[in-house]
Structure 1
Amino acid sequence: MPTQPTPTMHDVARVAGVSVSTVSRVVNNERYVHDETRAKVVDAIAQLGFQRNEAARALRPGQSSDTVGLVVADVANPFFSAIAQGAEEIVREHGHMLIVGNSGLDYQRERDLVQEMLRRRVDGLLVVPTAHDHAELHAELSRWAPIVYVDRAPRGVRADAVVLDNRAGAQRAVDYLIQAGHQRIGYIGGDPAVVTGHHRLAGYKQALRVAGLDFDQALVRFGNHTAEAAEETGVDLLTGPTQADAIFADNNRMTVGALHAIRRVDGGAGLAGFDDVELADLLPRPIALVTHDSIELGRRAARLLFDRIAGTTGPPRRVTHRTQMLIRGG
């Protein structure tokens, strides 16, 4: 059966007996339309089942699209999905819609996503940046829409950002392991170029220094991008020449891998991790976790973005989101 053509503004204008420009004013809820004329247009819209093309509307110069873009590293990771949840709350309060993209921490993918979002005329961007230098990209994109960076500040750019207190959080967790009697503490991390890992490693080193323990580069293992990779790294740290007696994992996926590693070797190794881990309270052994309100992290970033969308000017703002350490399980 042939499909019916989609009704257009011209169709609505014909049925209502008005001009296309009058239909446009009614559809966009503009003033200066008589009530009787407006009623005719509304009736014609209902009769024809007309729906305005939001994408085309967004392409009109100077017209708000009522959308905000969010680019995260891994939408399947509970940390980033919580950021999206918090951001969406604020976006919705402002009558906007949130569009989410997943970069996989790949710079070219990140670049493609934000450029596509700008082509769709988003009113602003929230971005969890990759490790790549962002000076050129930020200069190119910030001319078209305000940008707030989330979780980490980009390399090469002074821009609005909402970040975690990474160094202090990591130092607190490693100190907990030291106070529990551990002296050979392995470090499992992801991409060493990502600024969060750099700051967490600095906190790790600071805790060792304060305790009078030597830093051993052999105990530090970056380049783990999945929980499975972290598990193999953890087994090697605990059973190999390094003879680690505890592990600090620098994000939630690394912590999951470390938990599996400790279970495999059936040892009494200590464990601390950055970010909360789902179901950690059900673990039969205690684990120290650096936690934070990830939903609020997303809210704060979105509020900062809407300040800029509303026209707030001034120098770039850096908001540091506090962390705390909790003992889970046991």
Structure 2
Amino acid sequence: MQARPPTMNDVAATASVGLKTVSRFVNGATNIDPVLAARIALAIEALDYRHNLAAASIRPGRSSKLIGLVISDLANPYYSSLARSIERVCSEHGYLLMSMSCDEDTERHQLLIDRLIAQRVDGLIVVPPRDDPNAWADGARWRIPLVVVDRPVTAPGIHTILADNAGGTEAATAELVRQGAARVAFIGDSLKLYTMRERLAGYRRIIEHDDLRLSARLTFTGAHTADQASDIVLSLLEKNLADAIFAANNRSTIGALRAFARAGHRLPLIGFDDFEAAPLLNPAVSVVAQDVAEMGRVAAETVLAAAQGLAPLVETHVLPTRLVLRGSEAKEISGTEWLE
């Protein structure tokens, strides 16, 4: 059974002051005795109390009908697709979704979590921040129904929705090798990201075979932007160091395509994560496709069930990925030109 969150009464008792004094303090009053204010501040910190900004407008036993979503970057097509799917399910159940982006800023992430809790959301769906994915989760776990997506946390008792990052990358790398590549370059973001570590693990399962030992030197994990990925791939093209490219996220895929256009020639390519233009390019881009809509649906239905007291046993869902071959993984494609 989850412990109840601390209340204003608890703060008053711990600080040995009246409830009205605590209420004035948390609502921003400045004419409070400094000694009492200091005791209240210490009590709030010790109890990990969060003032409920919406409590006055919601009667006891009533739901706010709000679900909070904290993601990395709403401009990223992956996260915007995830948010759309979650919002659709919430709307079908009469809930409003409040979406916020932390931009991988740990302090901002914690601020957004605290603010959503203060707004009395009925549940949280969270993509943990890259640099410190675990610190916030222990405190949030007992206060509100919580589901994490895309990246796991170590705190117990939290529903987790993930994709099979390693398996998808393994299948993609194996396909590039089957097409004849002996030097497959891995282009991705920081290994602080769980998804990148998993995708690199899948890549290594294939390239660590003796026949592919040259690929071991072609791992690049500093491409946070499409421009950074483009510079890496352009260098590989100029020096003829790689036979194929595995782009470990959609920004790296876009960067690789830009490099091909600048160089005027291409390498076989498979990217992780589908995007709307992928089938329209020439050649159409092969990808490891996650079912982002399904991930959002499962996350939303799980948090809504928990908010209504109907949640199943806490578990981790690992959703399968799918290798979608459209032609860009092949060595030769007739009639293809890469133009600036």
TM-score bracket, normalised by the shorter chain, equals: 0.7 to 0.9
Deviation at 1:133, TM superposition (A): 3.9
CA 1:211–1:324 in structure 2 vs 1: closer, same or farther (change >3 Å)? farther
Stretch deviating more after TM superposition (301-310 or 311-320): 311-320
Relative to structure 1, the CA distance from residue 90 to residue 57 in structure 2 (aligned partners, 3 Å threshold; closer, same or farther) is farther
| TM-score, normalised by the number of residues in structure 2 | 0.75
Give the greater-gyration-radius structure (CA).
1
Does residue 112 of structure 1 match 2:118? no
- Aligned counterparts of 2:210 and 2:70: Cα–Cα separation in 1: 39
Aligned to 1:269: 267
Instruction: Provide the C-alpha distance between the structure 2 equivalents of 1:294 and 1:61, rounded to a whole number of angstroms.
Output: 36
How far off is 1:56 after superposition? 5.7
Instruction: Map residues 197-212 of structure 1 onto 2, 5 A cutoff.
Output: 197-209=196-208, 212=211
For residues 228 and 250 of structure 1, the distance between their equivalents in structure 2, rounded to whole angstroms, comes to: 14
**What is the match of residue 100 of structure 2?**
101
Aligned position for 1:6: none
Distance 1:168 1:210 in 2: 17
Shift of 1:92: 1.2
Matched, 1:283 2:281: yes
RMSD in angstroms over aligned alpha carbons?
2.2
* Distance in structure 1 (CA, Å) of the matches to 2:171 and 2:202: 8
Deviations 1:72-113 (A, max 9, x none): 111111111111111112111221100000011221111111
Find the counterpart in structure 2 of residue 326 from structure 1.
Answer: 324
Q: Which residue is 2:41 aligned to?
A: none
| 1:68–1:125 contact (8 Å) kept in structure 2 | yes
Matched, 1:178 2:169: no
Query: What's the offset of the Cα at 1:207?
Result: 1.8
> For the residues of structure 2 that align with 1:91 and 1:326, how far apart are their CA atoms?
30
Deviations 1:27-68, CA, capped at 9 Å, x for gaps: xxxxxxxxxxxxxxxxxxxxxxxxxxx946556565421100
Q: Structure 2: how far apart are the matches of 1:97 and 1:161? A: 22
Find the counterpart in structure 1 of residue 234 from structure 2.
235
1:229–1:262 distance in 2 versus 1, CA, 3 Å:
same
Q: Which runs of 5+ in 1 are unaligned?
A: 1-53
Is the contact made by 2:185 and 2:215 (CA closer than 8 Å) also made in structure 1? Answer: no
* CA-CA distance at 1:287 after TM superposition: 3.0
Distance 1:202 1:215, change over 3 A: farther
Is 1:317 paired with 2:315? yes
Aligned to 2:164: 165
Compute the displacement of 1:115 (Å): 0.9
Which residue is 1:11 aligned to? none
Among all aligned residue pairs of Structure 1 and Structure 2, give the percentage whose two residues are the same amino acid: 35
Query: Is contact 1:166–1:200 with CA below 8 Å preserved after alignment?
Result: yes
Q: Is the 8 A contact 1:161 1:317 kept in 2?
A: yes
Taking the aligned partners of 1:79 and 1:197, their CA distance within structure 2 comes to 15
Query: Where does structure 2 lack aligned partners over 5 or more consecutive residues?
Result: 1-52, 329-340
Please give the alpha-carbon distance, in whole angstroms, between the structure 2 residues aligned to 1:261 and 1:102: 29
Cα deviation per residue 1:117-138 (whole Å; 9 max; x = unaligned)?
0010111000111123444311
Matches of 2:294 and 2:229 in 1, distance apart?
28
Which amino acid in 2 is paired with 1:161? T
Query: 2:298 aligns to what?
Result: 300
Asked if structure 1 preserves the Cα contact closer than 8 Å seen for 2:182 and 2:214, the reply is no
Is contact 2:208–2:216 with CA below 8 Å preserved after alignment? no
Residue 266 of structure 1 deviates from its aligned partner by: 2.4
Any conservation in 2 of the 1:57–1:63 contact (CA below 8 Å)? no
2:80 aligned with 1:68, yes or no? no
Partner SS, residue 214 of structure 1: helix
- Provide the rounded CA distance (Å) in 2 between the counterparts of 1:145 and 1:297: 20
TM-score normalized by the length of structure 1: 0.77
Structure 2 match to 1:33:
none
What SS does the corresponding residue of 1:126 show, helix, strand or coil? strand
Confirm or deny: 8 A CA contact 1:275 1:291 kept in the other structure: yes
Structure 1 counterpart SS, 2:213: coil
Structure 2: distance between partners of 1:183 and 1:324:
23
- Counterpart-to-counterpart distance in 1, 2:60 and 2:209: 58
Match of 2:77 in 1: 78
* 1:277 shift after superposition: 2.2
Distance of 1:160 and 1:215 partners within structure 2: 40
Aligned partners of 2:207 and 2:216 also within 8 Å = no
Q: 1:184 to 1:121 in 2, by over 3 A?
A: same
Q: Is 1:151 aligned to 2:150, yes or no? A: yes
Aligned mates of 1:129, 1:63 — CA distance in 2? 29
Counterparts of 1:283 and 1:255, CA distance in 2? 12
* Cα drift, residue 178 of structure 1: 0.6
Letter in 2 for 1:310: Q
- Where do 1:209-228 residues align within 5 Å? 209=208, 212-214=211-213, 216-228=215-227
- The count of corresponding residues between Structure 1 and Structure 2 is 276
Change beyond 3 A, Cα 1:239–1:59: farther
